[in-house]
Amino acid sequence: MSGVLDVVVIGGGQAGLAAGYFLRRTPLSFLILDDGEAPGGAWRHAWDSLTLFSPAEWSSLPGWPMPVPQGGGYPPRDAVVRYLAAYEARYALPLLRPVRVGAVRRGAGHLLVEGADGRSWRSRAVLSATGNWGSPWIPDMPGRAVYRGRQVHSAHYRRPEDFTGQAVLVVGGGNSGAQILAEVSKVAPTTWVTEREPVFLPDDVDGRVLFERATERWQAEREGRAPAEPRGGLGDIVMVPPVREARARGVLSHSLRPFASLEADGAVWADGSRVAAGAIIWCTGFRPALGHLAPLGLPGADGRAQVGPEGRATAEPRLWLLGYGDWTGSASATLAGITRAARGAVAALSEALARDAEPPG
Ligand code: FAD
């Protein structure tokens, strides 16, 4: 164990890197711990064809704009991974990888950050930026154990060819569900199952517009007024080119509400109707990856930690949470939105540490 650091950042995805950028501009000592084998955070694990739903100019971390891909268009997954790798090198961020943090515990005057490999670090503050990808969520559906087909969460889905010729249930009405359905329906018969009727955004609304709307909501909240922009959330379906192409084939026009249970070879609805399926792709989202905070009594039953302004944990004033979703800061789980959240969290954390260091009196 080393001396006491000012800040340990857990997670070296876009949120951890943005925090690193702002921490570099303070006198604080800090270290970023990331369990990935290589840079890129969750983007390394996304499916092969994934592209951003915003142009590069609207997907940048603080300080250095994301390079615009040759020929324009929305950047593909690999371009985001390259950008994040170049970003951490450019700012020479102090990163240790791979280090899996197993636990954060309270110590005397510090937090103790324990690596799963036995190493540990003492820190005056901890910034948790572990994202959601590590915690895929599947609803607890009766019969899941008896179903004999293949089940894959979108976190582990790679390419449509893996499902060629199988009857596939695609479960989930968000962007992952729509995009995966769009490409799997080219090689396999598909049935789309969504909680409610899917919400499609107008064709000219992309991540850029969604971010502007999120900003307006954030601004309105701070000023105590009703937001002026129309609703339309980051979860609604963006009509990226493959999804538009699927719409033209009629694939998006029919979806079913959730089935009641699974049986060996498919799904059964409450009215007794059945759909046979050789595979299910669960596009049912994620929970925050917060297992390392269990010794601090977090997260709560909803899988989240209660936070105050700038993502400071209510249960532990030396802990900040960054990224994850709107609950830690508006649009903080997007490339465009993380700058504002990271700047706020680092400013709040620096101020708190400076106050702590002041002599009493
Ligand atoms: P992550 O990228 O998940 O990074 C967290 C890092 O922490 C990872 O490297 C992880 O391995 C590591 N980690 C986790 N637990 C531990 C631990 N215990 N110890 C050490 N390290 C740990 N956003 C956009 O802006 N534009 C888009 O077009 C867009 N498209 C998306 C499409 C899909 C299908 C999805 C799911 C998300 C999309 N997003 C998009 C959202 C968002 O940008 C990502 O989810 C983003 O990866 C969140 O970044 P993060 O740094 O918070 O988390």
pLDDT of residue 75: 93
Number of H helices, E strands in the chain: 6, 14
pLDDT of residue 360: 65
Ligand 1 atom with the shortest distance to the CA of 334: 25
Q: Which residue has the tokens 């582990």?
A: 156
Alpha carbon 241 to chain centroid, angstroms: 22
pLDDT of residue 349: 97
Ligand 1 pocket check: which of 296, 334, 339 to mutate, most ligand atoms within 8 Å of Cβ? 334
Give the E-state strand segments of the chain in sequence order.
Answer: 4-10, 30-33, 95-96, 101-106, 111-115, 120-128, 150-153, 168-171, 190-193, 261-263, 266-268, 274-276, 279-282, 319-321
- Give the pTM: 0.94
pLDDT of residue 217: 75
Q: Of 284, 281, 285, 283, which is closest to residue 333 (Cα–Cα)?
A: 285
Question: Which residue's C-alpha comes closest to atom 48 of ligand 1?
Answer: 333
Question: Which residue's C-alpha comes closest to atom 16 of ligand 1?
Answer: 130
Q: Of 320, 351, 322, 321, which is closest to residue 338 (Cα–Cα)?
A: 322
Ligand 1 atom with the shortest distance to the CA of 323: 52
Ligand 1 pocket check: which of 37, 77, 133 to mutate, most ligand atoms within 8 Å of Cβ? 133
- Reading the block at residue 335, the tokens are 């490339």
pLDDT of residue 295: 97
- Reading the block at residue 360, the tokens are 């009493």
- Reading the block at residue 347, the tokens are 């400013």
Low-confidence ranges of the chain (pLDDT < 50): none
Alpha-carbon gap, residue 34 to 40, rounded angstroms: 10
In angstroms, what is the span from residue 98 Cα to ligand 1's centroid?
16
Counting Cα atoms < 13 Å in the Cβ hemisphere of 315 gives: 14
Alpha-carbon gap, residue 19 to 88, rounded angstroms: 11
pLDDT of residue 230: 60
pLDDT of residue 213: 77
Alpha-carbon gap, residue 243 to 279, rounded angstroms: 21
pLDDT of residue 60: 95
pLDDT of residue 361: 60
